[in-house]
Amino acid sequence: MKAVGIVVEYNPFHNGHYYHVTQSKKITNADVVVAVMSGPFLQRGEPSLVSKWHRAKMALQSGVDIVVELPYVYSTANAPVFAEGAIFLLDALQCDAFSFGSEEGKLEPFINTANLIEEHNEEYNALIKKYVSTGTSYPQSLYYAYEQLKQKKNENYIDLSKPNNILGYHYIAAAKKFNLSIQPMTIQRLHAGYHDAINETSTIASATGIRKEIFQKRNVEAIRNFVPNSTYVHLVEWQQQFSKFVDWDAFWPLLKYAIMRYNPENLRAFADVSEGIEYALIKHVKHSENFSQFMSDIKSKRYTWTRLQRMLTHIFTGITKDELHQFKHPTYIRLLGMTKNGQAYLSERKKNLELPIISRVAQAKDQMLQIDIRASEMYALGVELFSQKKIDGDYKTPPIRL
């Protein structure tokens, strides 16, 4: 059986994701689609709208055959580390190809960009340091360094100001770094940009636009035309059971407590806390009525919104620098769910996989997995706080089988 892999968050699964799944399978002539999906906390440092189990069901009922969890240490990391963890897992699952959506839509510019940066890596890193030293944010410094580097050759390169192009480049760079045989392919995103609001004349919308609509109108019906029916059903189910969807404002009392209970020295131990930001966190958290106000107070030119959210995610989950940076690559495959087709694929390949497949966490003692479990427990605690209802944790929830 032939497999194509995809890297996803599905926050939530929408019509654009469905197009990506179906086209990836069609173009590669694959028998199965394997999705590496972020768990309860996402790459931009946010808690997911609904639980990973709800999101996995959305995917499995809309064309994905296997869903595995991207470990927390990768799902909450910057783009290069996020990509390395995800592509490593897709290769470990013996996928023949990986497919990503992009604003570019053509593969050649991605290959040219990866070769350019690899060939001039020392110069590239020196340029990044130069821009960072002027107070420019790290992501913006990367962009400026790349734009300067592009002038060396008259080639067709990608636009690295676009979020999906950025991730696509890092997926290809990750495959090159680990010398993997898995082959890349890209599919152009349809209509909606990454941050675009909902356009009522289309049935394609970004996950960002969909979440914004849900939180503003507090009504899932408002986004029904932009998601498959399975997504709509699971969103309605979540709202009926837990009363509201998850964002940082929903978790604000717990996050506020997590920050206020520490002194500056203690806060410095948490991952991504640096350069004295701990003093600003303590100063402003006491007087902020909600998460949005807190973020507005601590944001600066040096600290992007995403960088701050990742930092706060690690404080919330209690993940220290030492814990986060001790791993070189994923050490297991955490199975969240599969269809019958996916089960047939795993049965065929299981004996030859180099990483263990974990379906029940009680049987595993892996350190990276323990971090995942802690993150899931903190997410569940936040949901319980605002809803007074419990989510079944990782120890009680078996993989989904369709």
In 3D, which of 397, 319, 398 has the Cα closest to residue 75?
Answer: 319
In contact, 230 and 58? CB cutoff 8 Å? yes
Q: Is 20 annotated as a binding residue?
A: yes
Q: Is 122 annotated as a binding residue?
A: no
Q: Is 19 annotated as a binding residue?
A: yes
Q: Is 164 annotated as a binding residue?
A: yes
Q: Is 143 annotated as a binding residue?
A: no
What would the two tokens of residue 25 be?
């399978």
Q: Is 330 annotated as a binding residue?
A: no
Q: Is 15 annotated as a binding residue?
A: yes
In 3D, which of 220, 177, 227 has the Cα closest to residue 61?
Answer: 227
Q: Is 337 annotated as a binding residue?
A: no
In contact, 237 and 231? CB cutoff 8 Å? no
Q: Is 14 annotated as a binding residue?
A: yes
Q: Is 266 annotated as a binding residue?
A: no
Chain centroid offset of residue 283 CA: 30
Q: Is 265 annotated as a binding residue?
A: no
What would the two tokens of residue 334 be?
């955490």
Q: Is 8 annotated as a binding residue?
A: yes
Q: Is 18 annotated as a binding residue?
A: yes
DSSP label at 363?
A: G
Q: Is 263 annotated as a binding residue?
A: no
User: 264: cis peptide before it, omega within 30°?
Assistant: no
Query: Cα Rg for the chain, rounded, in angstroms?
Result: 21
Strand partners of residue 4? 33, 97
Strand partners of residue 183? 97
In 3D, which of 66, 86, 7 has the Cα closest to residue 400?
Answer: 66
In contact, 342 and 82? CB cutoff 8 Å? no
Angle between helix 367-387 and helix 229-242 axes, rounded to 10 deg? 60
Q: Is 294 annotated as a binding residue?
A: no
Q: How many CA atoms lie within 13 A of 353 on its CB side?
A: 22
CA distances from 227 to 303, 316, 374 (A): 34, 31, 31
Helix ranges restricted to H, 190-338: 207-217, 229-242, 248-260, 264-267, 277-285, 291-298, 305-317, 321-324
Which residues are documented as binding site?
A: 7-20, 101, 164, 189
Which residues are documented as binding site for ATP?
A: 7-20, 101, 164, 189
